[in-house]
Amino acid sequence: MGLGSYPAATLQEARQEAQKWREIVRVGKDPIEGRERQRHEAERNLHLLANIARDVFEARKAELKGWAVVFIARIAHIAKAGESACR
């Protein structure tokens, strides 16, 4: 089970993460299943945020006019980037 690559995670962060997962093993749970569950929840929350952003956009589309296309493009880009990060 990986804890992250060096530049992205400091040694202290990796040790804290390892300790967290050791605690999960101590109580008899599978740490890999726990991490997958966290990833799925993060992905679900990202989809929720994207849906909220689209709803707000649709509600305020007339007010936004000129930069509306840029706004939607940014939201779509963020949602796609988040989806690939959660996998």
Confidence at residue 26, expressed as pLDDT on a 0 to 100 scale: 93
Q: pLDDT tens across 19-59, in order?
A: 988 998 999 988 888 888 888 888 887 778 888 888 887 88
> Kind and range of the H or E element at 74?
helix 68-86
Q: How far apart are CA 30 and CA 9, in angstroms?
A: 22
Which contiguous run of DSSP H or E holds residue 25?
helix 11-26
CB neighbour class for 68 (10 Å; exposed up to 12, middle 13-18, buried from 19): middle
Q: Is residue 72's pLDDT more than 80?
A: no
Average pLDDT taken over every residue of the chain: 79
Whole-structure pTM value:
0.44
Give me the residue spans of the domains in the chain. 31-86
* Residue 81 tokens, joined: 């980037």
